[in-house]
């Protein structure tokens, strides 16, 4: 490419760093994404940015896709190209944005992993040997009982829990939205046992779940304690906190068939996000069908 085109790219990155004050991580992402675009332009003998056409951008993205890039990574690269061309347009260097209407290939949506009801029972219905394990079981019960996100659980304060009303309040869920959730009887029992011991070491800490030193538990600590608990229980598969939230949603939908209610309980802004659990429900029904229907499988002679 011509030196002037290279300088225009440098000017764009400098503007991101100095004027927009993007993070180092974001700046490096832009540099990496646009480096691949420069490489494409060199192979296609594109000397100036105004020469790049929409068909060229599509070809570039298709080439990156064939090299194994995910849809998410391709969307990010397209976003970087669009942002760069918006800068060029404002500088009157180009007349159009060739990446404006280019879309990345859609990626197959992965179904979340869940535990079945018996697996959840095996995880939660077990004795504890210490105060910390009592706290841990209360956390895990609450995950499954109310479908909390990890950030929501560690953010809970004592005034947010209403044991008599069997409910809790998430003050700031995803997107800053608050919501009130029910608490099941098993989780109520586990919380009551934990609260009896929590008061002695809480000090002025308002957090529902605190460490042995009396400070609010971090998200990483909760993940670690769940992994430790699974090891103790002899559970081979990797169980993470969000899996308990997924299991809550899947089991509730299987029993109630009320997608809108599950959406409200999970705190999803769009029902399309919740609809992924209908696929899990169908998988469950398909397995039942395959195992039970007399003509579902071929007989072997």
Same domain, 73 and 176: no
Same domain, 187 and 125: yes
Residues 64, 149, 198, 246: which is the catalytic one? 149
Range of the domain at 171: 117-291
* Known active-site residue 65: no
Does residue 174 carry a catalytic annotation?
yes
Q: Is residue 268 annotated as a catalytic residue, yes or no?
A: yes
Note the pLDDT of residue 189. 94
**Is the residue at 215 inside a domain?**
yes
- Catalytic residue from among 174, 177, 233, 287: 174
Rounded to whole angstroms, how far apart are CA atoms 167 and 188? 9
263 and 143 within one domain = yes
Whether residues 8 and 64 fall in one domain: yes
Residue ranges of the chain whose pLDDT lies below 50: 300-301
The pLDDT of residue 209 is 94
Q: In the prediction, which pLDDT does 204 show?
A: 76
- 211 and 127 part of one domain: yes
CATH number of the domain that 34 lies in?
Answer: 1.10.150.130
Number of structural domains the chain divides into = 2
pLDDT score for 300: 46
* CB environment 21-52: b (16+ within 10 A), e (fewer): ebeeeebebbeebbebbeebbeeeebeebeeb
Which CATH number covers residue 260?
1.10.443.10
| Residue where a domain terminates, one of 41, 74, 90 | 90
Is 277 one of the catalytic residues? yes
233 shares a domain with 146: yes
pLDDT at 296: 61
Is 285 inside any structural domain?
A: yes
**pLDDT score at 264:** 81
| Count of other CB atoms within 10 angstroms of residue 195 | 17
Catalytic residue among 225, 245, 246, 251: 245
Query: Is 105 among the domain residues?
Result: no
Residue 301: predicted pLDDT: 42
| Model pLDDT, residue 297 | 59
Q: 85 with 214, same domain?
A: no
Residues 121 and 73 in one domain: no
Instruction: Return the pLDDT at 125.
Output: 83
Pairing state between β 179-182 and 161-162: unpaired
**Is residue 103 domain-resident?**
no
Q: Identify the active-site residue in 113, 169, 179, 242.
A: 242
Residues 75 and 121 in one domain: no
The answer to pTM > 0.85 is no
Final residue of a structural domain among 39, 55, 90? 90
Residue 245 to residue 260: CA distance in whole angstroms:
16
């Amino acid at each position: 490419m011509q030196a002037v085109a290279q300088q225009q790219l440098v000017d764009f990155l400098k503007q991101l760093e100095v004027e927009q004050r993007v993070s180092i991580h974001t700046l490096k992402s832009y540099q990496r994404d646009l480096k691949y675009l420069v490489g494409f332009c060199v192979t296609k003998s594109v000397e100036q940015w105004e020469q790049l056409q929409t068909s060229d951008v599509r070809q570039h993205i298709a080439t990156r896709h064939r090299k194994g890039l995910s849809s998410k990574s391709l969307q990010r690269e397209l976003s970087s190209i669009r942002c760069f061309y918006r800068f060029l347009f404002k500088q009157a260097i180009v007349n159009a944005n060739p990446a404006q209407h280019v879309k990345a290939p859609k990626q197959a949506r992965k179904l979340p992993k869940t535990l079945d009801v018996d697996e959840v029972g095996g995880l939660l219905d077990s004795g504890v040997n210490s105060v910390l394990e009592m706290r841990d079981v209360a956390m895990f019960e609450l995950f499954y009982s109310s479908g909390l996100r990890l950030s929501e659980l560690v953010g809970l304060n004592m005034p947010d829990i209403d044991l008599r009303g069997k409910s809790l309040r998430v003050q700031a869920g995803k997107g800053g939205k608050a919501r009130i959730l029910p608490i099941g009887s098993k989780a109520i029992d586990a919380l009551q046992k934990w609260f009896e011991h929590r008061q002695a070491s809480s000090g002025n800490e308002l957090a529902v779940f605190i460490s042995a030193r009396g400070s609010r538990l971090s998200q990483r600590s909760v993940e670690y304690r769940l992994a430790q608990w699974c090891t103790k229980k002899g559970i081979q598969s990797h169980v993470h906190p969000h899996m308990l939230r997924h299991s809550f949603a899947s089991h509730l939908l299987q029993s109630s068939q009320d997608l809108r209610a599950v959406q409200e309980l999970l705190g999803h802004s769009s029902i399309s996000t919740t609809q992924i659990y209908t696929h899990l429900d169908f998988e469950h029904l398909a397995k039942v069908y395959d195992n039970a229907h007399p003509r579902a499988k071929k007989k072997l002679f």
